[in-house]
Structure 1
Amino acid sequence: MLKPVPQGPAIVVCNTCRHSAESWEDAEGRTGGEAMAAALRSVAASNPRYAGIAIEDMPCLFACSQFCTLHIRAPDKIGYVLGRFTPDEAAARAVLDYALLHAASAEGEVAYALWPEGVKGHFIVRVPPAGFVAA
């Protein structure tokens, strides 16, 4: 059931997430997660500075009430689950910008003053890396 992926910085998108609180799919029949993954890939392809961030998707992150959920992670760093996004270019850019800051941080913690506006209010949970807890 698990598929190996590279160990570097990544955004894991729930590809089965609802499009919004009201609907599973958009007008084109895509789930919110599918639309968010497509937006992330499109924005990432448009700017080489995002090349070091992998965009991966998997079914269900079990945060269904939050819709358009994703996990930002990197080896040996605190990871974050975020949700309640509108799956569009603006959200994708904010998530990718945050993922760059996360990847560049020592332990996965990014000062609030540096957060892109588009991720504020979207954090659901932080996840410690294996073998660690936050102090």
Structure 2
Amino acid sequence: MLRPVEEGAAVVACSTCRASAGAREDDEGVRGGARLVAALHAVKASDPIYGTVAVQEMPCLFACTDFCTVHLRAPGKIGYVLGRFTPDEDAARAILDHAVLYAASEIGQVPFRQWPAGVKGHFITRTPPAGFVVE
């Protein structure tokens, strides 16, 4: 079933992702995705700079081998799936820092020199917005 959410720039986090390549849950029995979702919400609430980006969650983005995945999306912009994050505050902050730059960009492309170090090496795919392809 689909659940409507507000349109706009968003980080959609997989709430059921593995904790790591070798474990579904952490030592406390919590999935990595649930930890990352909680960290994203906590970091977003900590600073108004993140107000331009929604944090949304859904079960399974089907990127299981890349655990702790997020989909960065906005209407009319290129989307990105990122993964292989440690489900903690540092990863959440890097994701949201990049998402703010993404939200401010014209078509979703952020120059590499502006990427936070914490997202480099975590990009899995980029997806064109509906009705477009990237030149």
TM over 0.5: yes
1:62 corresponds to: 62
Tell me the distance in 2 between the aligned counterparts of 1:95 and 1:43: 10
2:2 corresponds to: 2
TM-score by length of 1: 0.98
Gaps of 5+ in 2: none
Identity %: 62
2:108 corresponds to: 108
1:14-50 superposed Cα distances (whole Å, 9 cap, x missing partner): 1110000111111222111100000000011110111
1:28 paired to 2:28: yes
When the two chains are superposed, the root-mean-square deviation of aligned CA atoms in Å is 0.6
1:35-77 superposed Cα distances (whole Å, 9 cap, x missing partner): 0000000011110111121111111111100000110111100
Tell me the distance in 1 between the aligned counterparts of 2:53 and 2:110: 16
Gaps of 5+ in 1: none
Aligned length: 135
2:119 corresponds to: 119
TM-score by length of 2: 0.98
- In structure 2, what residue type is equivalent to 1:32? G
